[in-house]
Structure 1
Amino acid sequence: MVTDYDAIIIGAGFGGMGAAIELNRLGYHNLLILERESDLGGTWHVNRYPGLAVDIPSSTYSYSFEPNPYWSRLFAPGAELKKYACHVAEKYGLRRLMRFDTVVDGAEWDEGDAHWTVRCRGGEQLTAKYLFTATGFLSQPKVPDVDGIDTFAGKVIHTTDWDDTYDLTGKRAAIIGTGATAVQLIPEIAEKATELTVFQRTPIWVSPKPDVSIPTVVQKTFAALPLTQRLVRMIGTSILEMMMVSGVLHYKQLPLVNKLGELWCRAHLSRQVRDRELRRKLTPDYSFGCKRPTFSNDYYRTFTKKHVSLQTSSIVSVDADGIRTADGTRRDIDVLVLATGFNLWDVNFPAIEIIGRGGRNLGTWWRENRFQAYEGVAIPEFPNLISLNSPYSYSGLSYFTTIESQMRHIDRLFTAMKGRNATVFEVTHHANDDFLDRMTAKVGDSVFALGQCSTANSYYFNQHGEATLLRPSSTLSTYRQASSFPLDDYDYA
């Protein structure tokens, strides 16, 4: 049977665009990228809250083969990431492949015709030989389960649906959440609101942010001499590797590196917050690295302002006018901001229903067994599926490390198929089981297994208490494996 497309890619963020670029390089041009939002860019299209910026150096948060010499700051603001995404789409001819405002409900493998049938909301069905899911790790917003929150009569804003028309000036504001998004947003709200109450469940490790503007002369140098920017990228990546791989993943061998990271954050907090009780509330009781740490020069200092208060007692209920906490405190507010993050493990992995060989439901199988994916991309009984947002796929601190390692994997796998005149691939059970055993053993050396993580409330951990999101390998090792995995780890037909 003739299919509609060579491949359908679900998601028009950086991951989906990377997959499309690689497939084009390999000679597959009949592609369709389906995106539920109104434009491309993924998280950088959806998020536009005040203070939004990349939380690692911009030079490392971009494709290595498509550097941007014109970042305005070391940590670029969100609008520049969106602009960069548009630039990539235009340069590589991807926008013409994209269909926006299209919600995918599910996909099913057709054994008889050896293709995927993708179901779109509204009833349309599309077929493709290959299916790539690039729905993003942080794509399903999480709304707190708080009694009465639907009865609040004031303004409610989730950070993934920011209302640019709403003016916070003079408002009594409250924000729920103190994760990486809140670290960027709280100082911005405090600049406008007359009162700001921050409801914190879990404090976060925050280190100084070495953010500076990048002079025009430096930008011109990067443009004229790309090698200089590659050098900056290498330095930035090396620093991130030291933090992530050495201090977090090799915790057993190098506990001192992890401790230094914690001490660095503690010193930053001590410099900015003199009040001992406030400092205690802002200090995590879990090990550095159990939850993604972040950078800010303003976050801690914001809590020292007279009109900003930190509430660590749990929220009991919300009514029409305000919030009541377990210690009996009540706050009347005008606007409630939800910086409550994303739901990874309940409604993601996968983000849509995926039915493989023999009617196997991927989401059900993962939850009834263990979250697993060979090299973070392939699953047995799911032929011709590349799942870009899978267990053990996220490598390093820059998402582009993950994307480019997966592009290498796609290159090696599809080249092997062409060499065998095959059109169907499927990872073997043996290869998948062996990979899972190796990843599980390596996680055993990490802070996730040996540190104190029980109070972190970290999205790194799934509902079984396993840290299966991050790949416990260095970037170099991940790249090497993506380019050299045994070809007979797959069956071909």
Structure 2
Amino acid sequence: MGEAEADSSPSTWLPGPLIVGAGPSGLAVAACLADVGIPSTVLEKSSCVASLWQHRTYDRLRLHLPKQFCELPLMGFPDGFPKYPSKHQFISYLESYATAFGIRPRFGTEVLDAAFDRGIGAWRVRTRGGEDFVSRWLVVATGENAEPVVPEFPGMERFGGRVVHTCAYRSGADFTGEKVLVVGCGNSGMEVSLDLFRNDARPHMVVRNTVHVLPREMLGWSTFVVTMALLRWLPLRLVDQFLCAMAHLMFGDTDRLGLRRPKLGPMELKNLAGKTPVLDVGALALIRSGNIKVMRGVKEITRGGAKFVDGMEEQFDAIILATGYRSNVSSWLMDDGGLFTKEGMAKDPFPGGWKGEKGLYCVGFTRRGLLGASHDALNIARDILLRRNNPSSHHLAKQ
């Protein structure tokens, strides 16, 4: 539906922007708007802020980047937080952040659809409760990781053990003594495999594609910090060559472990395909020692385990799908004005991608993590302030 149709549902006209999603991205936009004196309304279908972090992450999760690169705008982490805050510390920070800026989301409010109503020149958002919200500005903040990706393998329905996506995984203690197949070798797959081993389970990790594994730190410095510093002075490909050389120096030839490196460098691959390199926190040593076994791609799931593309067959007690998440924007945003791809990601690369047409914005969809979301939030607040104070303005440079 490209244009909202009139109906009998009650409509609540909002004086400020409507933000869909109360995760870090939505909170960042609301805070930046509050800082310039613009009230906003945040709709959140769950019962809390940062529901992904609170309900869909495993217990041992920590931020992968140093805390200064994960802060939201206008408020840093408490002084006593470690370099890499834990999941629970990050959640407490987000709750304090919402309180500090007076952000009170409407919890339990699921958006069914949103479309631009040309008759009134505003966005009309329908919710499952039957109430319409209408605003001149709509900010999409549901994030890149709104819905779990669950692949379909032949025979999955006949597997006799547990099948769990990482969104429902909490601790390896739930799998003690079990032989577990972890499907996926990204940061989640690596960390879940590590957690399983530390809880006396026997992890086998499926590595179907190539993957870059980098040390989380180099010579006492965060790899991310080193990378950002080098990119100020050197071409991206030289930085990639340096990162791969350091990884080889510290890890050796990971190809021999079944972890083949892509032909493109880690930063070039992230920029082109959005594929984030794995930052190792201990799993690689366990792969080298054989305590985490690397398996080739899954060909078929059997009643008792799995068959693999190299002809091997193994029995497993459980399967954990570390297969990531995807955007759900296309399921509810009826008129994206060319802002999103068909996969629900920003069409324009960072530092653009945050601004669409007719008062539509998105935050946190350029695969740049919390740092990118903060950048988007600041730009959105500036742009809405400009448009509110000068309605005839049609453009703000995306700096």
Shorter-chain TM-score bucket reads: 0.7 to 0.9
Q: Which residue of 2 aligns with 1:6?
A: 16
Q: Which residue of 2 aligns with 1:293?
A: 277
- The answer (yes or no) to whether the contact 1:208–1:296 under 8 Å persists in 2 is yes
For 1:296-315, what aligned pairs fall within 5 Å after superposition?
296-312=280-296, 314-315=297-298
Q: Which residue of 1 aligns with 2:95?
A: 86
Q: Which residue of 1 aligns with 2:272?
A: none
For the pair 1:41 / 2:18, whether they are aligned, the reply is no
Against the structure 1 CA distance between its residues 375 and 307, is the aligned structure 2 distance closer, same or farther, given a 3 Å change threshold?
closer
C-alpha displacement at 1:88, in angstroms? 0.4
User: Whole-Å Cα distance in 2 between the matches of residues 184 and 207 of structure 1?
Assistant: 14
For 1:241-280, what aligned pairs fall within 5 Å after superposition?
241-242=228-229, 250-251=235-236, 255-270=237-252, 279-280=256-257
- The answer (yes or no) to whether the contact 1:208–1:297 under 8 Å persists in 2 is yes
Q: Which residue of 2 aligns with 1:228?
A: none
- The answer (yes or no) to whether the contact 1:52–1:185 under 8 Å persists in 2 is no
Stretches of structure 1 lacking an aligned partner (at least 5 in a row):
213-231, 271-275, 432-480, 486-493
- Secondary structure of the residue that 2:136 maps to in structure 1? strand
Q: Which residue of 2 aligns with 1:239?
A: 226
User: Whole-Å Cα distance in 2 between the matches of residues 5 and 418 of structure 1?
Assistant: 11
Q: Which residue of 2 aligns with 1:341?
A: 324
- Which of 180, 198, 204 pairs up with 1:191? 198
- The answer (yes or no) to whether the contact 1:105–1:119 under 8 Å persists in 2 is yes
What are the Cα deviations for residues 111-145 of structure 1, in whole angstroms up to 9, with x where unaligned? 12122111223543222221111111222211112
Against the structure 1 CA distance between its residues 15 and 187, is the aligned structure 2 distance closer, same or farther, given a 3 Å change threshold?
same
What are the Cα deviations for residues 397-431 of structure 1, in whole angstroms up to 9, with x where unaligned? xx3432332233234323322442x2x8755xxx9
Could you say what the CA RMSD is over the residues aligned between the two structures, in angstroms? 3.3
Matched positions, count: 379
Q: Which residue of 2 aligns with 1:353?
A: 333
- The answer (yes or no) to whether the contact 1:109–1:115 under 8 Å persists in 2 is yes
- The answer (yes or no) to whether the contact 1:50–1:188 under 8 Å persists in 2 is no
- Secondary structure of the residue that 1:143 maps to in structure 2? coil
- TM-score, normalised with respect to structure 2: 0.83
C-alpha displacement at 1:355, in angstroms? 1.9
Against the structure 1 CA distance between its residues 204 and 46, is the aligned structure 2 distance closer, same or farther, given a 3 Å change threshold?
farther
- The answer (yes or no) to whether the contact 2:180–2:203 under 8 Å persists in 1 is yes
User: Whole-Å Cα distance in 1 between the matches of residues 137 and 107 of structure 2?
Assistant: 20
User: Whole-Å Cα distance in 1 between the matches of residues 251 and 50 of structure 2?
Assistant: 34
Against the structure 1 CA distance between its residues 403 and 243, is the aligned structure 2 distance closer, same or farther, given a 3 Å change threshold?
same
- The residue identity in structure 2 corresponding to 1:304 is R
- Secondary structure of the residue that 1:178 maps to in structure 2? coil
Q: Which residue of 1 aligns with 2:303?
A: 320
User: Whole-Å Cα distance in 2 between the matches of residues 285 and 211 of structure 1?
Assistant: 21
- TM-score, normalised with respect to structure 1: 0.68
- The answer (yes or no) to whether the contact 1:42–1:136 under 8 Å persists in 2 is no
For the pair 1:62 / 2:71, whether they are aligned, the reply is yes
- The answer (yes or no) to whether the contact 2:72–2:370 under 8 Å persists in 1 is yes
- Which of 330, 336, 346 pairs up with 2:313? 330
For the pair 1:371 / 2:347, whether they are aligned, the reply is yes
What are the Cα deviations for residues 268-298 of structure 1, in whole angstroms up to 9, with x where unaligned? 222xxxxx79735223133222132232241
- The answer (yes or no) to whether the contact 1:58–1:71 under 8 Å persists in 2 is no
User: Whole-Å Cα distance in 2 between the matches of residues 210 and 68 of structure 1?
Assistant: 21
- The answer (yes or no) to whether the contact 2:115–2:125 under 8 Å persists in 1 is yes
C-alpha displacement at 1:6, in angstroms? 2.2
User: Whole-Å Cα distance in 2 between the matches of residues 339 and 37 of structure 1?
Assistant: 23
User: Whole-Å Cα distance in 2 between the matches of residues 404 and 338 of structure 1?
Assistant: 30
- Secondary structure of the residue that 1:371 maps to in structure 2? coil
Q: Which residue of 2 aligns with 1:476?
A: none
Q: Which residue of 2 aligns with 1:119?
A: 126
- Secondary structure of the residue that 1:189 maps to in structure 2? helix
C-alpha displacement at 1:74, in angstroms? 1.7
User: Whole-Å Cα distance in 2 between the matches of residues 406 and 105 of structure 1?
Assistant: 25
C-alpha displacement at 1:306, in angstroms? 4.4
C-alpha displacement at 1:208, in angstroms? 2.4
- Secondary structure of the residue that 2:258 maps to in structure 1? helix
User: Whole-Å Cα distance in 1 between the matches of residues 284 and 224 of structure 2?
Assistant: 26
Stretches of structure 2 lacking an aligned partner (at least 5 in a row):
1-10, 270-274
User: Whole-Å Cα distance in 1 between the matches of residues 313 and 199 of structure 2?
Assistant: 22
- The answer (yes or no) to whether the contact 1:209–1:295 under 8 Å persists in 2 is yes
Against the structure 1 CA distance between its residues 201 and 405, is the aligned structure 2 distance closer, same or farther, given a 3 Å change threshold?
same
- The residue identity in structure 1 corresponding to 2:264 is S
User: Whole-Å Cα distance in 1 between the matches of residues 339 and 69 of structure 2?
Assistant: 32
- The residue identity in structure 1 corresponding to 2:226 is I
C-alpha displacement at 1:181, in angstroms? 1.4
C-alpha displacement at 1:42, in angstroms? 4.8
Against the structure 1 CA distance between its residues 239 and 361, is the aligned structure 2 distance closer, same or farther, given a 3 Å change threshold?
closer
- The residue identity in structure 1 corresponding to 2:16 is D
For the pair 1:416 / 2:386, whether they are aligned, the reply is yes
User: Whole-Å Cα distance in 2 between the matches of residues 343 and 54 of structure 1?
Assistant: 20
- The answer (yes or no) to whether the contact 1:108–1:117 under 8 Å persists in 2 is yes
- Which of 121, 135, 143 pairs up with 1:136? 143
C-alpha displacement at 1:338, in angstroms? 0.7
